[in-house]
Structure 1
Amino acid sequence: MWLRRTKSGVRIHNAYPPKFGCTSFKDVHSLIDDGGGSPKKQPAICHRTRSVKSFLRTLSKSTFPENVAEEPEAEPEPEPDPDIRIPGAEKLVVLYFTSLRIVRRTFEDCKTVRSILSAFRVPIDERDLSMDSGFIDELQRILGLSKRSKLTLPRVFIGGRYIGGVEDVRRLHESGELKKYVEGLPVAEPGTCEACGGYRFLLCVECSGSHKCYSEKAGFNSCTLCNENGLIRCPSCSSSSASAPPL
């Protein structure tokens, strides 16, 4: 026997959601804002980028104060006197360069100049600053530069006369003027030096390349015959430049 369904006496208020009073979405921020006011404006992207950069700059200065200190700038290199000469080097080419590859551009410039000069088959006195630091002081004295001046390589002297760097040599070579500078120089003997293999330096016989000599009275002292690397200039391939002693 089925029970008869009766109407419940409990009434449910607010059974339906309130009507949405906004006719458009332009007032949606006012409905979801907790404070009931207008929504806060977010900073623009450019403004936020400037704020981040400013924060990082301040953080860098406070965390790494050594970054703030600026290194003293080297003195700019003055224009060399065109009448600069090396006495006693009238019959050869003197090239100051470096064989180290630490700075790629400098190494490539030195390599370019050496290739250009070697094509003329003239005697070249190559003075590698990386093999003997004494060449640095020597070149600075020749050019009249101070210790703080910026020294760029390579530097070329032809017949004792200062020619310039890589750009000067390249410009003279392309115009054909460089050939006129080397016309009066003697012809170099072909081949590589058998004594040093073309390195222009040998181990010091006195200290065997250690740059230290021992004596019973004074103990160990620096060798006076070689440079700081325990090397001496090769007497075979440096004989052509014997008339041009270091300044």
Structure 2
Amino acid sequence: MLLSRTKSKIWIHNNNSPNFSCSSFKDINTLFSDDSDYNSPVSTTTTKKPNIFHRVLRVNAVLRAFSTRPAPESTTPKSIQIPAAEKKIVIYFTSLRVIRSTFDDCKAVRSILSSFRVSVDERDVSMDAGFMEELKTILGTRVKTKLSLPRVFIGGSYVGGAAEIIQLHEAGELKKYVEGLTPAEFSTCEVCGGNRFVLCEECSGSQKCYSEKSGFRTCTVCNENGLIRCPSCYYPIL
């Protein structure tokens, strides 16, 4: 009778060995190994590595160091004041629909300001480019700098653009800014009909003037649209 030879399997468990049989667990062994393992004769030639608890302590120390740093100083610009506007609102805006978002912002801000029934001086930069130059002078910006619209001044002080006005209005704080301002006049100007501009009398809006001596020349009275600001209802700030 033939006897089949079977291989006996003997499992040997070494309590002194911290390593798993699978090489993929070598990182886990390293993290959970005791400090005594690094002091063993086998590891005398290697640099001692901190265990996981030391790493956690170091991370917490770094986080505490960043959290205790002083907050940066506020970069809020100084208040901007304009003369001859202490009792009214001045808004620089555009009525052109070239940029839809800008037009919508200007329309929304004008609607909010008009609801308080106070005096609002509306200055349309699309009607006269001089308004934009005036605004840049007030804000102290460079000539070639492009400014977003609208820009609002209340009681002679600069408040901000569309985002600031809408935020103040939704929070109920805007009404505090307009308290004490001159009430709005519901009568329409008989000269310009409320448009704030009239046709230039020198060139009749053509921007060209003719004389027998020099022929045609560019009109120096009106703006780029052949208009002049209404002498009856417009009062310059600068």
TM-score grouping bracket, smaller chain normalisation: 0.5 to 0.7
Q: Residues 179-194 of structure 1: matches in 2 within 5 Å? A: 179-194=175-190
Report the counterpart of residue 110 of structure 2 in structure 1. 114
What SS class does the counterpart of residue 90 from structure 2 fall into? strand
What SS class does the counterpart of residue 190 from structure 1 fall into? coil
Report the counterpart of residue 51 of structure 1 in structure 2. none
Determine whether 1:197 maps to 2:193.
Answer: yes
Looking at structure 1, the residues matched to 179 and 231 of structure 2 have their Cα atoms a distance apart, in angstroms, of 26
Report the counterpart of residue 155 of structure 1 in structure 2. 151
Compute the RMSD of aligned alpha carbons: 1.8
C-alpha deviation, 1:107, in angstroms: 0.3
Alignment-mate amino acid for residue 213 of structure 1: C
Alignment-mate amino acid for residue 115 of structure 2: A
C-alpha deviation, 1:129, in angstroms: 0.8
Report if aligned partners of 1:80, 1:143 keep a CA contact under 8 Å in 2.
no
Determine whether 1:236 maps to 2:232.
Answer: yes
- Residues 113-146 of structure 1, C-alpha deviations (whole Å, 9 max, x = no match): 0000111111111111111111111111211111
- Residues 8-41 of structure 1, C-alpha deviations (whole Å, 9 max, x = no match): xxxxxxxxxxxxxxxxxxxxxxxxxxxxxxxxxx
**Length, aligned pairs only:** 164
What SS class does the counterpart of residue 157 from structure 1 fall into? strand
Assess, with a 3 A threshold, how the Cα gap between structure 1 residues 115 and 208 changes in structure 2: closer, same or farther: same
- Residues 135-194 of structure 1, C-alpha deviations (whole Å, 9 max, x = no match): 111111211111343310000011111010001001111122211111111111114434
C-alpha deviation, 1:202, in angstroms: 1.1
Report if aligned partners of 1:84, 1:162 keep a CA contact under 8 Å in 2.
yes
Q: Residues 60-209 of structure 1: matches in 2 within 5 Å? A: 81-209=77-205
Report if aligned partners of 1:94, 1:125 keep a CA contact under 8 Å in 2.
yes
Assess, with a 3 A threshold, how the Cα gap between structure 1 residues 80 and 110 changes in structure 2: closer, same or farther: farther
Q: TM-score, normalised by structure 1?
A: 0.62
Identity of aligned residues (%): 66
Assess, with a 3 A threshold, how the Cα gap between structure 1 residues 145 and 187 changes in structure 2: closer, same or farther: same
What SS class does the counterpart of residue 83 from structure 1 fall into? coil
Mind listing any 5+ residue stretches in structure 1 that lack a counterpart?
Answer: 1-78
Determine whether 1:226 maps to 2:222.
Answer: yes
What SS class does the counterpart of residue 205 from structure 2 fall into? coil
Assess, with a 3 A threshold, how the Cα gap between structure 1 residues 80 and 104 changes in structure 2: closer, same or farther: farther
Q: TM-score, normalised by structure 2?
A: 0.64
- Residues 95-117 of structure 1, C-alpha deviations (whole Å, 9 max, x = no match): 10000001110000000000001
Alignment-mate amino acid for residue 94 of structure 1: V
